[in-house]
Amino acid sequence: MKVLIVGCGRVGAGLAMTLSARCHDVNIVDKDPLAFERLGGDFKGRTFTGIGFDREILLCMDIERADALAAVTASDEANIVAARIAKDIFHVPRVVARLYDNRQAEIYQRLGLQTIAPTGWGINRMADLLLYSPLDAVFTVGSGGVEIVEAVAPYLLVGKVVRDLTVTGEILVAAITRENKTFIPTLGTILQEDDLLHMVVLTSSSTRLREILDL
């Protein structure tokens, strides 16, 4: 995948190195050229000096072919502007913006922007949000400690019950969409093929959920 990163602070640099190590094509931009010193010697991507929401800079970074963009500067305003440009103008499939002011999170999520709070998550979690996955986070609650995620019931779970997916205090199946109808299941509801599961999950339990779903 081609991933663009706006901001080469601690998070941006860590994300760039993580994705580069996973063999993704990473381009990163920062207004301070010294910021790129945070990138390790194994970083194989490209660096750009400039403003991350400047159209010409984004074009130089090949945004028209980008699969994902992460805006992780120290400024909420800069992150949201970069994210909206990526999503609304260049139609980048996956866009994530770091957001310090959680009071604005709901507003931006209504615009279709995935926002991440600076607490309750890590670089690997942000990498997971950027990369395509059968487990899709659709909403982050509060400070980022709880997420609403969706996934199609894996074949191996068909015939099992909701109780088999439930982990008290960590993972809850809140609703199921089946044949274009959504309902609230009981613990005994049997999972069927093509069920879309809507789950409430602690961010820290995302790995455990993937293990249960065998993703």
Q: Which residues pair with 148 in a beta bridge?
A: 139, 200
Query: pTM score, two decimals?
Result: 0.66
Tell me what percent of the residues of the chain surpass a pLDDT of 90.
55
Whether the CB-CB separation of 179 and 187 falls below 8 Å is answered with no
For residue 138, pLDDT over 50 is answered with yes
Give me 170's structure tokens. 């960590």
Q: List the one residue out of 197, 199, 193 whose CA is nearest residue 156.
A: 193
In this predicted structure, the answer to whether residue 136 has a pLDDT above a threshold of 90 is no
pLDDT digits 0-9 by tens, 37-48? 999 888 999 999
| DSSP β-bridge partners for residue 181 | 178
